[in-house]
């Protein structure tokens, strides 16, 4: 395999000295000590340059067979190879090592490979572990913050539902069957399926209600009420329960509202809304949907102010026809 090496150089004298030198550096040997290097420079230079570590093994084989002869011209090569005989085992492993590093590992370097692979394994592992740990740690911390804070009053599934929004209000009612029949709120993962949302008739969407309330001429407070707010006693409120042609009134935070016009618009259904008819709805309201802005929806339905029973005489004539 080495034509340059095979070229015999007229340097019989040097070999002994070179025997040791090759051991030091295989690539260098011929050039270093030669006086005649000037003559032989061409060839020796060619030798080292053309003799990489890969070529060594082939010489070893030859030398093994020819070790007995210390021929001068070839001695250099043979001597080198002889000396390299010992090293070869090492250089071989080194070369294999190098190869294994460069190439997808052959079987022999397995020792080196596993070591390398093992050495390579750890680096990826730590980064993986780190992000995972960070995720695990950060995820739970993010989870609670992900949802907007809400009052803890609600124990029903409605607490799991997302807060109302314009988009949510525009959504079509999810289910038709179990809307308002069951009152007991059960813990359910799916808010939509278990929701008590009622199926609103066409024309009774939140937007429709907003359009309706935007017009003050609609008299959402009631037909026979004065334009000004009235004082409402508990007995008056109780009488306005939505039955027998009476409007349904309810009180909330000391104010009385006529909820009759809102009944077909109430997402929870008429029945749910009527649970507060003739009495205060604050508790029910907060239990179910504390995030709902009552006044924003029923502002135009404000009848008056809830007063004590003693104040009835003053306002009754004004309030009631
Ligand atoms: C006795 C009083 C009331 C009861 C028992 C009641 C009950 C309900 C129920 C069961 C729902 C369905 C909740 C769900 O889908 O999970 C609901 C939704 C709703 N109610 Fe009421 N409600 C009452 C009063 C009111 C009032 C006075 C208003 C308006 C001022 C109102 C506005 C709404 C709104 C906007 C929704 C939809 C909430 C959402 O989609 O997130 N409710 N209500």
Q: Which two tokens stand for residue 311?
A: 């104040």
Q: Whose CA is nearest to atom 35 of ligand 1?
A: 292
Cβ(164) – ligand 1 distance below 6 Å: yes
Ligand 1 atom 17: residue of nearest CA:
268
270 lines ligand 1 (CB under 6 A): no
The pTM (predicted TM-score) of the whole model is 0.47
Contact in structure between 109 and 47 (CB atoms under 8 Å): no
Q: Along the 321 residues of the chain, how does pLDDT read in single tens digits?
A: 544 444 455 554 444 444 444 444 444 444 444 444 445 555 666 655 555 555 565 555 655 544 544 444 444 444 444 434 444 444 444 444 444 334 455 555 444 444 444 434 444 444 444 444 444 444 444 444 444 455 454 444 444 555 555 444 434 444 444 444 455 555 544 455 577 889 999 999 999 999 999 998 899 999 889 999 999 999 999 999 999 999 999 999 999 999 999 999 999 999 999 999 999 999 999 999 999 999 999 999 999 999 999 875 555 455 555
SS3 label, residue 109:
helix
272 Cβ inside 6 Å of ligand 1: yes
Shortest-distance atom of ligand 1 to CA 162? 41
Residue 320 has a pLDDT of 53
Retrieve residue 120's tokens: 């390579």
pLDDT tens-digit map of 223-256: 889 999 999 999 999 999 999 999 999 999 999 9
| CA-wise closest residue to 256 among 289, 287, 200, 299 | 299
Residue 128 three-state SS: helix
**Residues 40 and 9 sit within 8 Å (Cβ to Cβ):** yes
Q: CA 167 to CA 279: how far, in whole Å?
A: 32
Give the atom of ligand 1 at the shortest distance from the alpha carbon of 296: 30
Which atom of ligand 1 sits closest to the CA of residue 191? 16
Q: Which atom of ligand 1 is nearest to the CA of 180?
A: 10
Using a 10 angstrom Cβ sphere, with 0-12 exposed, 13-18 middle and 19 or more buried, the burial of residue 66 is middle
Residue among 205, 250, 274, 292 to mutate when testing ligand 1 (max atoms within 8 A of CB)? 292
User: What is d(CA 22, CA 60) in angstroms, rounded to the nearest whole number?
Assistant: 13
Whose C-alpha lies nearest to ligand 1, atom 5? 272
């Amino acid at each position: 395999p080495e034509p340059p090496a095979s070229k015999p150089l007229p340097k019989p004298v040097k070999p002994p000295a070179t025997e040791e030198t090759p051991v030091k550096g295989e690539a260098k040997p011929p050039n270093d000590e030669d006086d005649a290097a000037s003559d032989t420079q061409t060839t020796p230079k060619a030798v080292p340059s053309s003799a990489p570590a890969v070529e060594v093994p082939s010489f070893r084989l030859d030398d093994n067979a020819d070790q007995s002869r210390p021929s001068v011209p070839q001695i250099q090569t043979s001597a080198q190879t002889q000396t390299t005989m010992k090293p070869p085992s090492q250089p071989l492993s080194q070369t294999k090592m190098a190869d294994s590093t460069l190439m997808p590992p052959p079987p022999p370097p397995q020792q080196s490979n596993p070591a390398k692979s093992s050495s390579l394994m750890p680096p990826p592992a730590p980064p993986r572990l780190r992000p995972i740990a960070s995720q695990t740690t950060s995820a739970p911390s993010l989870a609670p913050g992900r949802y907007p804070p809400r009052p803890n009053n609600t124990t029903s599934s409605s607490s799991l539902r997302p807060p109302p929004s314009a988009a949510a209000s525009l959504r079509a009612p999810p289910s038709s069957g179990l809307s308002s029949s069951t009152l007991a709120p059960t813990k359910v993962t799916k808010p939509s399926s278990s929701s008590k949302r009622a199926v609103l008739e066409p024309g009774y969407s939140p937007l429709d209600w907003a359009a309706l309330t935007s017009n003050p001429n609609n008299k959402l407070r009631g037909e026979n009420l004065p334009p000004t707010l009235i004082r409402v006693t508990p007995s008056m409120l109780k009488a306005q329960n939505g039955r027998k042609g009476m409007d349904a009134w309810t009180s909330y935070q000391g104010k009385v509202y006529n909820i009759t016009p809102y009944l077909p618009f109430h997402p929870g259904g008429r029945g749910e809304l009527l649970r507060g008819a003739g009495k205060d709805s604050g508790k029910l309201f907060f239990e179910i949907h504390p995030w709902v802005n009552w006044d924003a929806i029923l502002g135009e339905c404000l009848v008056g102010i809830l007063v004590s029973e003693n104040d009835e005489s003053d306002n009754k004539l004004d309030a009631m026809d």
